[in-house]
């Protein structure tokens, strides 16, 4: 019998580290070759780590949410052959600094203020782990609670504390008191009792009723539980990106309503007459073509702002990010070179990228490189929004929901299909006037959609 250490492999894309987002195994599990052990995330791409050998899991080298350097040990297995770890005595360190005694589910101890170690593990700004000791111990963690011994040590006696009883705890009261509480719609679990062992009396009912509107009635018991959810993986990356954008970019938001009645008529006609091999057109391809034409007149909108260097990187190619909600969270697949795509090509590419994003198979290249972004909540788009710019871009165009509204044509009110665009701009780079001109140009193109096709 021997031991085999699995290191975090090079997942490609030139990255030096990855975040552990999921364990598929636990200590003691028997695994076969190619069994998926863990999932790690680089930027917005998730990569599964398979086992190269059969064996039993002895040790897991990281916690969910840890950042692990490429080449760092993450799993230790007991294998039938010699393995790839030299024999070590108890107390000595094995390969890559993994303690020989770490074979019973121990993990590397997180150090809050230690200097970086060769293990490559880190906890964001909390620092890197301590060098592995011969008897690793996990640091104190609020999640590590003593096992319940059957005694409710934290349950207060109502007669002393006045606190409501825990769910499932039967209150003590006479039949007359219970009948009165039932007729008054009072949940006796919410009534502090002043008698022996918290027994509830009529006086306690009177005092409870005197407390007024804050009284909890039967069926409306208060809930005080708090669930702690660790922010990891894609959600953490979204949080970091949003915080960066809002802290560094002074946003200006411009909202304009657009009459899309003619556009909807054209879209319906094109979908009815389209070839069978062409995708169904939505609003997005028309908006993309309108943005490309407007950017041709205002190229500063198609740019990235390096605020550290004080340089605006203005791009000739228009690479439009399409913010998409997926089961795992918000991602932004990118339609590259939108300036070279017609309506049908744009629609096909949007559909392809949306499918890949929802399936979690979009590559890093497909999720990066945008120069301007569209965000849309579809039918849930609301009347107006304040979209957050996809840093370091300088503009984002938000699509709100379409509604039929009465519009005065000079002689009468007529029903028109109206939609708002809510667009945000980096005010360091784009002045309010320029933002308005850009949106007004898009408005003109969408309200007279034939202009979209005029070169």
- Give CA–CA dist 385/271, Å, rounded: 29
**Do 61 and 77 touch, CB atoms closer than 8 A?**
no
Q: Strands, DSSP E only, in 94-168?
A: 121-122
Please confirm, yes or no, whether 355 is among the known catalytic residues. Answer: no
d(CA 40, CA 237): 13
Q: If we measure between CA atoms, which residue out of 12, 135, 1, 20 comes closest to residue 74?
A: 20
Answer yes or no: 431 catalytic. Answer: yes
Of 263, 213, 301, 224, give the one whose Cα is nearest residue 402.
263
How far is it, in rounded angstroms, from Cα 42 to Cα 137? 29
Whole-angstrom distance, CA of residue 97 vs CA of residue 314: 48
Active-site pick, 24, 251, 315, 427: 427
Separation CA 44–CA 47 (nearest Å): 10
SS (H, E, C) 416-433: EEEEEEEEEEECCCCCHH
Of residues 10, 34, 306, 431, which has the active-site annotation? 431
Beta-sheet pairing, 395-408 with 372-376: parallel
Please, what's the b/e burial string for 370-409 (b: 16 or more CB within 10 A of its CB; e: otherwise)?
bbbbbbbeeeebeeebebbbbbbbbbbbbbbebeeeeeee
Composition of the chain by helix, strand, coil, percent to 5: 30, 25, 45
On whether the CB atoms of residues 98 and 5 are closer than 8 A, the answer is: yes
CB 13 within 8 A of CB 364: yes
Q: What sections of 342-455 are H helices per DSSP?
A: 343-359, 432-447
Q: Give the three-class secondary structure for 414.
A: strand
Residue 185 phi/psi, 5-degree rounding, is: 70, 35
Nearest-angstrom CA–CA distance, 175 and 185? 15
**Whats the size of the chain, residue-wise?**
455
Spatial distance between the Cα atoms of 386 and 59, rounded to a whole number of angstroms: 47
* Alpha helical stretches, state H, 148-248: 158-161, 175-184, 202-210, 233-248
Q: Which residue has the tokens 């304040």?
A: 386
Catalytic residue set: 427, 431
């Amino acid at each position: 019998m021997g031991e085999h250490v699995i290191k975090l492999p090079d997942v490609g894309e030139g990255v030096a580290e990855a975040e552990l987002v999921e364990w598929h195994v636990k200590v003691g599990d028997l695994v076969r070759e190619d069994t998926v052990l863990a999932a790690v995330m680089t930027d917005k791409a998730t990569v599964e780590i398979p086992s190269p050998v059969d064996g039993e899991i002895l040790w897991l080298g990281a916690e969910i949410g840890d950042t692990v350097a490429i080449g760092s040990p993450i799993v230790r297995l007991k294998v039938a052959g010699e393995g790839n770890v030299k024999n070590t005595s108890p107390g000595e360190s094995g390969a890559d600094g993994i303690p020989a005694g770490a074979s019973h589910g121990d993990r590397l101890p997180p150090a809050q203020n230690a200097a970086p170690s060769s293990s490559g593990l880190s906890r964001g700004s909390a620092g890197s782990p301590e060098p592995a000791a011969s008897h690793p111990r996990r640091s104190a963690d609020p999640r590590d609670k003593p096992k319940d011994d059957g005694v409710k040590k934290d349950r207060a006696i109502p007669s002393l504390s006045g606190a409501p009883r825990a769910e499932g705890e039967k209150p003590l009261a006479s039949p007359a008191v219970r009948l009165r509480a039932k007729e008054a719609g009072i949940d006796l679990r919410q009534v502090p009792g002043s008698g022996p062992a918290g027994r509830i009396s009529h006086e306690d009912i009177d005092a409870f009723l005197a407390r007024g509107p804050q009284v909890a009635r039967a069926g409306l018991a208060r809930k005080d539980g708090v669930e702690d959810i660790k922010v990891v993986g894609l959600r953490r990356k979204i949080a970091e990106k949003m915080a960066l954008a809002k802290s560094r970019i002074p946003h200006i938001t411009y909202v304009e309503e657009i009459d899309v009645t003619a556009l909807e008529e054209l879209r319906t006609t094109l979908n009815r007459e389209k070839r069978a091999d062409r995708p169904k057109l939505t609003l997005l391809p028309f908006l993309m073509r309108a943005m490309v034409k407007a950017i041709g007149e205002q190229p500063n909108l198609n740019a990235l702002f390096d605020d550290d260097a004080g340089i605006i990187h203005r791009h000739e190619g228009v690479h439009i990010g399409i913010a998409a909600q997926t089961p795992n969270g918000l991602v932004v697949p990118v339609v590259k070179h939108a300036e070279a795509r017609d309506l049908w090509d744009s629609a096909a590419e949007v559909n392809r990228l949306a499918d890949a994003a929802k399936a979690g198979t979009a590559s890093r290249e497909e999720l990066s490189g945008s120069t301007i972004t569209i965000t849309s909540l579809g039918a849930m788009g609301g009347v107006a929004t304040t979209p957050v710019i996809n840093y370091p871009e300088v503009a984002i165009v938000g699509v709100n929901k379409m509604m039929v509204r009465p519009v005065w044509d000079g002689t009468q009110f007529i029903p028109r299909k109206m939609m708002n665009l809510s667009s945000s701009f980096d005010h360091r780079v784009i002045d309010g006037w320029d933002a308005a001109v850009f949106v007004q140009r898009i408005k003109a193109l969408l309200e007279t959609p034939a202009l979209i096709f005029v070169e």
